């Protein structure tokens, strides 16, 4: 009985504290990255420029979706890297999030447009379906499935740490037709 008590007395605190110790030192967890695979939600919204309709059937294969807005300051910082990606023929669909059409168009005029298509999500309905909590956020889609999601500024380091490994592992081939 006493030995059992002694055993319990040791095992619980030791495992607890060792676990916490390992947890503090753990580096695997990458804040902001989510690799849960889910379906690309169905949607039908207006595009930013021509006022034509965009829906999910227009988007096939593999591409990025970047959530941005003219009121989002970090988006301005991220922007340069997106332009770079675009020049490497990586298709980026812009999701203009809760933004006034004119403000968005003006912003793009000032800072260049890295997007193949821009969805104007004024009410944030597609964003809600995607699980977006703010801007900027970036999604990697392959064949109708979201395979990577990053909340925050995408730059060279984040691209290398978060997206590049997935692109390599899933053998992603970009859709040129968008």
Partner 1 sequence: MLIQIAHFLAILSTGLFLTTFVFSFLFTKKDRNITRLISRIYSHGFLMLTSSFFIYIWLALNDNFSVLYIAQHSNSQLPSFYKITSIWSAHEGSMYLWIVFLCLWGFLYSSYSPNDNILKARTIGVISLIAVGFLSFLLLTSNPFETILPIAPMDGADINPVLQDPALAIHPPMLYLGYVGFVIAFANAISFLINGDKSIKWEESVRIWSISAWVFLTVGIALGSWWAYYELGWGGYWFWDPVENVALMPWLAATAFIHSLSVSSKSQLLRIWTILLSIIVFSLSLFGAFIVRSGIIDSVHSFANDPERGLYLLSFTGLLVFSSLILFSYRLPLLTSKKLITPFSKESFISINNIIFGTLIFSTMLGILYPLIYEYLYLKKISVGAPYYNAIFVPATILACIFLFFSIDSKWQRTYRIINAYTSILFSGIFSLAITISVMLYFVISDLWILVSLFTGLLIIIRYLFVIFEFLINKKYSNPYSIAAHIGLGLLIISISLNSQFSSERAINIKINGDDIYKDYRIKFDNLELIKMSNHDSVMASFIIDSPSGKTFVLNPEKRKYFTRGQITTETAIHATLLKDIYVTLGDQLDDGSWIVNIQFNYFIRWIWISALLMAISGSFLAFSLRGTSR
Partner 2 sequence: MIKYSFLTLLLFSNFIMPESLYNFENAADEKRFYSLIKEIRCPKCTSGSLASSNAPVSIDIKNKIIELIKDGKSDKEIKEYIASRFGSSVLYNPGFNQDTYILWIAPFVILLIALSTYIFRRKV
- Write out the residues near partner 2 by the rule CB under 8 A: 1, 34, 36, 38, 98, 124, 127-134
50 binding partner (options partner 2, partner 1, none; Cβ < 5 to 8 Å by kind): none
Residue 13 binding: pick among partner 1, partner 2, none (C-beta 5-8 Å cut-off by kind): partner 1
Contact predicate 42/55, CB 8 Å = yes
99 C-beta neighbours (distance < 10 Å), count: 22
Contact set for partner 1, span 28-57 (CB under 8 A): 28-29, 36
The closest of 131, 151, 149, 132 to 140, measured between CA atoms, is 149
Any contact of residue 169 with partner 1 (CB under 8 A)?
no
Nearer to partner 2, 132 or 154 (CB): 132
Question: CB-wise, 34 or 58, nearer to partner 1?
Answer: 34
Nearest to 55 by CA among 24, 23, 29, 93: 93
Q: Which of 68, 150 has the CB closer to partner 1?
A: 150
Terminal-residue alpha carbon distance, the chain: 72
- Kindly tell me which of 1 and 24 has the beta carbon lying closer to partner 2: 1
Question: Which of 24, 51, 157, 171 is in the footprint of partner 1 by CB under 8 A?
Answer: 24
Those residues whose C-beta lies under 8 Å from the C-beta of residue 43, and which sit 6 or more positions away, are 54, 55, 56, 119, 125, 126, 129
Residue closer to partner 2 (CB basis): 127 or 140: 127
Total residues found in the chain within this entry? 178
C-alpha–C-alpha distance, residues 97 and 9, integer Å: 54
The DSSP bridge partners found for residue 118 are 94
* Residue 16 binds which of partner 2, partner 1, none (CB < 5-8 A, kind-dependent): partner 1
- Rounded to whole angstroms, the maximal C-alpha distance in the chain is 79
Task: Provide the binding-site residues for partner 1, judged by CB under 8 A.
Answer: 2, 5-6, 9-10, 13-14, 16-17, 19-26, 28-29, 36
């Amino acid at each position: 009985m006493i030995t059992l008590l002694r055993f319990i007395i040791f095992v619980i605190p030791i495992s607890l504290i060792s676990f916490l110790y390992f947890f503090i030192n753990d580096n695997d967890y990458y804040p902001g990255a989510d690799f849960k695979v889910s379906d690309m939600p169905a949607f039908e919204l207006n595009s930013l420029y021509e006022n034509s309709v965009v829906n999910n059937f227009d988007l096939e294969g593999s591409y990025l979706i970047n959530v941005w807005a003219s009121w989002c300051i970090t988006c301005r910082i991220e922007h340069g890297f997106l332009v770079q990606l675009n020049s490497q023929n990586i298709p980026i669909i812009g999701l203009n999030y809760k933004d006034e059409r004119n403000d968005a168009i003006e912003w793009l005029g000032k800072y260049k447009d890295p997007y193949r298509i821009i969805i104007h999500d004024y009410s944030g309905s597609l964003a809600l379906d995607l699980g977006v909590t703010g801007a900027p956020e970036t999604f990697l889609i392959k064949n109708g499935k979201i395979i990577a999601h990053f909340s925050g500024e995408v730059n060279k380091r984040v691209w290398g740490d978060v997206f590049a490994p997935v692109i390599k592992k899933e053998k992603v081939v970009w859709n040129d037709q968008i």
